[in-house]
Amino acid sequence: MIGIRDLEFAYTDSDFRLRIAELSVAPATTTAFIGPSGSGKTTLLNLIAGILLPDSGTVETNGTVVTDLSERQRRAFRVKGVGLVFQEFELLEYLTVLDNILLPYRINSALRLEPAVRDRAAALAERVGIADKLNRLPRRLSQGERQRIAVCRAVLTDPPLLLTDEPTGNLDPVNREKVLDILFDYVHESGTTLVSVTHDHEILERFAEVVDFRSFHAFGPSE
């Protein structure tokens, strides 16, 4: 599902280096990325999604060597192949909850917003307990509810790979368990591969695999 070889990555304006000789993630597994702040976890999610490109090495995601693709091809690959839940959720405050969930279909011409998609969005919202809030603005909702909107949006296209960045980072324990139940129920039912960055060691037992970024020769200003 994910194969990384001889990867080296640096931002142009930072001393940080990410070096990964070899990393594989099997299909339909759940993997946690852990490691200190600044060790490159978010960076690696962006490399796997083809948002960033390494300076050298290859990244293969869902059977596609994303490092061989043009920017346009990588974008097209991402639209169908990867669901992303960002650290800050990236909700648009001026759109309703429903329109936030439908956002991929509003901004990507490759996706057609058919009635069945709206039905699926409503079904997902129902399942995560926000069906009564579809016409509200996200600003008025709790962190847990905002996180659930982001999860619905990420899985709306039924992607084979779901990448989530600290999905429980801002949540109280009750909401944390709720969001994790939603995520894990979903991936187990759908056979989706889940890679999740987390700071939260209490939730690691839920994952089949754990990748500790201290094992990579990553270093940066925090060390």
Closer CB to ligand ADP, residue 35 or residue 159?
A: 35
Q: Number of helices (H) and strands (E) in the chain: give both, helices first.
A: 7, 9
| SS3 call for 209 | strand
Which residues of the shown chain bind Mg ion in the complex (CB under 5 A)? 42
| Strand ranges (E), 75-186 | 82-85, 161-165
Give yes or no for residue 16 binding ligand ADP (CB under 6 A).
yes
Give yes or no for residue 215 binding ligand ADP (CB under 6 A).
no
Residues 45-104 that bind ligand ADP (CB under 6 A): none
Q: CA dist 203 to 34, 145, 151, 190, 215, Å?
A: 11, 19, 17, 21, 20
Give yes or no for residue 196 binding ligand ADP (CB under 6 A).
no
Give yes or no for residue 14 binding ligand ADP (CB under 6 A).
yes
Least Å from the CB of residue 223 to ligand ADP: 9
Within 10 angstroms of residue 42's Cβ, the number of other Cβ atoms is 18
Angle at 74 between CA 60 and CA 34, to 5 degrees: 50
Among 41, 146, 176, 178, binds ligand ADP (CB under 6 A): 41
Instruction: Work out what residue 39 binds among ligand ADP, Mg ion, none; the CB cut-off runs from 5 to 8 Å by kind.
Output: ligand ADP
Nearest to 186 by CA among 163, 207, 146, 155: 155
Closer CB to ligand ADP, residue 16 or residue 186?
A: 16
Q: What number of CA atoms fall less than 13 Å from residue 7's CA on the CB side?
A: 30
Least Å from the CB of residue 38 to ligand ADP: 4
Give yes or no for residue 39 binding ligand ADP (CB under 6 A).
yes
Binding interface with ligand ADP (CB under 6 A): 11, 13-14, 16, 35, 37-43, 220-221
